[in-house]
Structures are given as structure tokens and as C-alpha cells.
Amino acid sequence: MKKHLEKIIILFLGAALISIYVNSDVIFIEKFNGVYYVGIYVVALKIYSVLKTIFSAIYYVVIPKLSNFSANNRIEEFKYLYTKLVSYLLLILFPVSTGVFILAKNIVLFMGGEAYIQAVPVLQIFSISIIGAILGGLLTSALNVSLGKENISLKGAVYAVLINIILNITLVPRFMHIGAAISITLTEFFIFFYNYFVVNECREYIEKHTVYKNFYQSVLGCFAIVILAIFLNALNLSPLFESIILVCLSIITYLGILAMQRNPLLIEVIGIIKRRCF
């Protein structure tokens, strides 16, 4: 019971520290730049928070199974499941990040109108930050918690808060809301790299070839999305119509590229859909 309570306290402290560095930016913006820029920043921050919550939910549901494999020393099963989790998230994360970056202006106009147009670069920066946040979460939550290495995550979170405060003090007075977004992005990637180099299991408990292959295929699909976006932008369509067309064509193109590469995860998903529907 004492051991479980200790883990709960560590997880709570880690979550509290993450909440501090994610939300402290608003305090710094208000202090150095005023309430107006807080409003602009919060529009992009809300979208970022929603995306982060959705992606986090994917790996949180797998943690109990990973913990069970770790507790029973079923290393190969742990490695297989963790590799699959990372691969799935890479295949989803990169196209979403690319799409948000491309459609940032249209998203902001839809969410807040012309008055919040200055939130566009912030959202674009957050579209990069989400990659660091989710990759970091795959290590701090999915891996460290499953292996009982919560202390490493907590230590990394402490460093992250200190780095974030220093970055905010340095960047926000000069670059305002954009500086705050850069601060969060650098902090998220720090957490990822800190855990990657400190926790040896993150390299041992994963099938690197499989992850690299999915990473390559995902990046290839993202390049196709960028080309589509450039083409559609030249047509001067209305923001809403352009967004709908781009999302639909991007999904079709991205899945088509994965299918051409005979991506095993896509084939698996198609098989599951066929069994459920037919």
C-alpha cells in the first residue's frame, strides 16, 4: 500500500509540474505584454491542449497492459506492444501536426475571427510542440510508469519547469506570445530528449527498424500533404472550402501512400474494420 501511495504522489507531482510550465506562460505574457496578448495566446493554447489530451489518451489506455508485462518480466511482449504503440502514434501524429500547421490560419479564423489573427504563428509553433509533447509522453508515461521509473519523469519535470521559467523570462518580453509558444515547444522537446538519454530501456524495449520504417512512411505522406496544400492554396478557395477539401484529399492521399508501402498497421486496421463490418 505504501509503495502504491508513493507512486501516486510522484505521478501527482509530475502532473502538477507539467501543468505549471504549460500554464505559467499566460502569467508571463500578462505581466510583460498585457491581457490583450493573453487572449490571443489562449486561443492557440486551447487547441494545443485539446490535441495533447486526445493523443495522450491513446497511450494512457495501454499503460496497464505494459505494466503487467513489465511486472511479469514478459519483455518480448512488452517490446512488441510498446513498438506498436509508438508506431501507431507516429503514423497519426505527424500528419495531424502537418495539417494543423498548414491550416492554422483557417482554424484561428474559425475559432476566433479576424481579431485573433495574431494567434496563427502561435498555433503553428504549437503544431510542432505537439510532436515533442507526445513523444515525451510515450517515455514519461507509457514507458517510465510501466517500468516503475516515475522518479526519472519527476526529475525531468523539475528541470523542465526551471528551463521554462528561464525561457519565458528571456523570450516573452521581446517576442511576446510567440516567445511563450517557443518556450513551451523547447520545454516539451527537452523532456523527450532528457528521458530518451537517461532511460536506457527506451532504446532497448523497442524494435527500431519497425519504428524507423513507420516514421519514414509517415514523413513521406506528410510531404504529399504539403504539396496538396500548395496546389489548393493557388486556387484561392474560401477558407472553409479549402480546409474541407484539403482534409479529405490529405486523408485519402496519406492512406494511399501507406497502402502503396504496404504498411502493416494500416493492413491490420483494414482487417479489423472488415471483420467488424462484414
- Separation between Cα atoms, residue 166 and residue 169, nearest integer Å: 5
Confidence of residue 81 (pLDDT cuts 50, 70, 90): very high
The residue that leads in pLDDT, 94 or 202, is 94
The residue that leads in pLDDT, 141 or 108, is 108
Is 90 exceeded by the pLDDT of residue 151?
A: no
Confidence of residue 141 (pLDDT cuts 50, 70, 90): confident
Smallest Cα–Cα separation from 249: which of 270, 232, 268? 232
pLDDT of residue 182: 96
- Separation between Cα atoms, residue 104 and residue 241, nearest integer Å: 15
What number is the average pLDDT over the span 67-84? 92
Is 80 exceeded by the pLDDT of residue 2?
A: no
- Rounded to the nearest 5°, which phi and psi values hold at 206? -150, 145
Start-to-end Cα distance in the chain:
47
- Separation between Cα atoms, residue 37 and residue 30, nearest integer Å: 7
Q: Which residues, at least 6 apart from 145, have a Cβ–Cβ distance to it below 8 Å?
A: 11, 63, 67, 153
pLDDT of residue 21: 66
- Rounded to the nearest 5°, which phi and psi values hold at 183? -60, -50
The residue that leads in pLDDT, 271 or 129, is 129
Confidence of residue 157 (pLDDT cuts 50, 70, 90): confident
pTM: 0.92
Candidate ranges 20-24, 41-45, 150-154; pick with highest mean pLDDT: 41-45
pLDDT of residue 71: 87
Confidence of residue 4 (pLDDT cuts 50, 70, 90): low
DSSP tag of 206: S
What are the cell numbers at 151? 522518479
pLDDT of residue 10: 65
Is 90 exceeded by the pLDDT of residue 191?
A: yes
Confidence of residue 78 (pLDDT cuts 50, 70, 90): very high
- Separation between Cα atoms, residue 245 and residue 122, nearest integer Å: 24
Helix, strand and coil in the chain, % to nearest 5: 90, 0, 10
DSSP tag of 117: G
What number is the average pLDDT over the span 118-145? 94
Is 70 exceeded by the pLDDT of residue 134?
A: yes
The residue that leads in pLDDT, 115 or 189, is 189
DSSP tag of 116: G
DSSP tag of 143: I
How many Å separate Cα 21 from the centre of its chain?
A: 16
- Separation between Cα atoms, residue 22 and residue 6, nearest integer Å: 25
